[in-house]
Structure 1
């Protein structure tokens, strides 16, 4: 099987400069490079660059997948809107790690599947997931908790380690978060038991009066700096940063994590067992329903044949005379129906006598006799 690797980088906050695009083009002659993206896939080669370095220098989002089962996604946010210390509380293993530069914090998530992927096309995944970056910038911590769960799923943490604060809204993930869960192949049972202590997500749309009161309390120099940043128009996260500061006074914080890694894994295992048992019960019930329906249809068919046995035998004779394989098959099927009817009505001996006569009459038709034998009409 040939190799397949897909790389996609996106610049969200600031477009790539012409000089940056030339730098990237020097590393790849066939990549699709625009002022906001770099996309390339490889059948036999590899990226001539370090995604970690590219995230620090150029891009705000990165997605990678390979046909041997590796999925990876990284997101970069300014430290003003996402504290590296908060991220470090959740990204604690190989499956979810983070690092910070002077200006940004990068969240890097990995998923491995030794069975590999059946579909290799990487297009579309990042577009579906990218809005989680804005959610994270606005103070939504669900992505970070999912990152921590990814480490739990990978058995990268001690079983007695306590979970971090559980953010609200885990039971009702947004579309982009659901796309992230699917891409990272997060265990649905683990996610379900983790979400049990997650409170409903409260609407955080502040009133005009509350915003006005908060804004009036800001020092004048700080207000002036905010206006200058707004007028410059190069700070895409100014609103998120200010709202995060505002909500810091009225937080929608997660609940304290009281469960251990071992608790979550055990509960997820029990939930999986329950799902498997219920699935088996549903399959058994459906199988029984189909069997009852088939038996009822069979009985109805035999009832329709009752009283028409002689006519059916004449039809068998006519089909055999054609000497066509399909007609032989139809004749054997009709004889099988006659056998079932005879067994049901206690006329088995008369039926067997009729079959013996039929076999003697057509003893020189081995194809027909073979069909009768395989149908148990010896």
Structure 2
């Protein structure tokens, strides 16, 4: 397979009509089209549709994946659920952008291949499903996805070192499963994300308690309460809960835990974290290596002790192995001879070993394969 492209579009707020599905079918005869989704893969050729146009007309979410490194996530929300100005604060680059269309705002988070390495073992099925819950969270005022988009811009070098970060949402240190899936899909540097999380309040800081919500609702104007009840009863607003939580968060913004940092400071902090992590890994690997070496040395000493107690049988085994004239048995015989030599040197009595080795080489002088193995092992008589 020379290439792989995966396209998936999903509707959340309203199912596709039969006419809309027919319009989509004209773009592809191979696509899997349902009342809520459009999925197609390409191993050659390209999709005839324009994802931007399809998002504006039909869909609420789109995921694109190509094995040359491009990854793209688009989400469409009503302007009442996501203020376009808020989206613009975080999404202003190639890796994160936003635009409005009618009553909607659409955000696009994009990752291009950073190192030129193709990704062959990939499959797009199921990824959008694991990410899509972030749309409801975003509609409810959870801005962590937008901040991830801004981090993606920082990581891609689209933000100047002196550019300050936007407002840091709470809970960056404890991402939900959907946000984690989004961060992994966009290949956001874990060290950069961890550095950003240092300036993020705990997730609980942005989660109002039931008591706080009840008190807030009690203080709402009567007209607002009537509108909320009407929308709830008629079911005309699928984002009602999210909009209310969003409104509460806007009216009760969390206090920033740290002053705004710059993109350069975050990159430096990420580099420091990476260096520290790599240092700790190297130390751990060195400790493991030394432990393995000590264990191997102790095991070898036990083997040599056993060999020293019955060297006569060992020499008989060497002769039997050589007699087979098999290369694998030659290797075993040579290793046994190395052990016998080490026993002799350890016991400070190498002369008898070297006499027997000289005799062995003379006896098998017509076995060049064996003699070559002995030479390579340093058993030269």
* TM tier relative to shorter chain: over 0.9
Partner of residue 64, structure 2: 64
Distance 2:176 2:147 in 1: 14
What aligned pairs does 1:234-249 form with structure 2 within 5 A after superposition? Answer: 234-249=236-251
Shift of 1:333: 1.6
| Alignment deviations for residues 191-210 of structure 1 (CA, whole Å, 9 cap, x no partner) | 11111111101163543684
1:273 partnered with 2:275: yes
Q: Deviations over 1:190-232 (max 9, x none)?
A: 1111111111011635436843662563243x44443443344
1:35: Cα distance to partner? 0.3
**Distance in 2 of aligned mates of 1:186 and 1:262:** 16
How far residue 255 of structure 1 moved from its aligned partner, in angstroms, is 4.8
Distance 2:358 2:201 in 1: 76
Residue 164 of structure 1 contacts residue 257 of structure 1 at CA under 8 Å; is this kept in 2? no
Write the distance in 1 (CA, Å) between the matches of 2:17 and 2:109.
27
Map 1:179-198 onto structure 2 (within 5 A).
Answer: 179-198=181-200
Inter-partner Cα distance in structure 2 for 1:215 and 1:14: 32
Report the alpha carbon displacement of residue 253 of structure 1 after superposing the two structures with TM: 5.9
Is the CA contact 1:165–1:257 (under 8 Å) kept in the aligned structure 2? no
Distance 1:144 1:326 in 2: 62
Deviations 1:274-296 (A, max 9, x none): 22222222221211111111111
2:106 is matched with 106
Instruction: Give the alignment of 1:210-359 within 5 angstroms.
Output: 210-211=213-214, 214=217, 217-220=220-223, 222-252=224-254, 255=257, 257-359=259-361
Cα distance between partner residues in 2 of 1:213 and 1:260: 35
Coordinate RMSD, CA, aligned:
1.9
2:20 corresponding residue in structure 1: 20
Residues 235 and 217 from structure 1, CA distance in 2 versus in 1: closer, same or farther, beyond 3 angstroms? Answer: closer
Change (3 A) 1:210 1:155: closer
Aligned residue for 2:80, secondary structure, equals coil
The within-5 A match list for 1:116-155 is 116-155=118-157
Give CA deviations for 1:111-137 in whole Å, capped at 9, x if unaligned: 122212132311111111111111111
SS in 2 for 1:105: strand
Residue 159 of structure 1 and its aligned partner are, at CA, apart by: 1.1
Q: Which moved more, 1:304-313 or 1:319-328?
A: 319-328
Structure 2 counterpart SS, 1:197: coil
Structure 1's unaligned 5+ residue stretches are none
How many corresponding residue pairs?
Answer: 377
Q: Which moved more, 1:211-220 or 1:91-100?
A: 211-220
- Structure-1 residue corresponding to 2:364: 362
Q: Which runs of 5+ in 2 are unaligned?
A: none
> Residues of 2 paired with 1:330 and 1:353: CA distance?
21
Q: Which is further off, 110-119 or 18-27? A: 110-119
Answer yes or no: is the 8 Å Cα contact 1:162–1:257 preserved in 2.
no
Residue 29 (structure 2) aligns with: 29
- 3-state DSSP class of the match of 1:27? coil
Segment of structure 1 superposing worse, 72-81 or 270-279 = 270-279
Distance 2:355 2:348 in 1: 14
Following superposition, the deviation at residue 337 of structure 1 comes to: 0.9
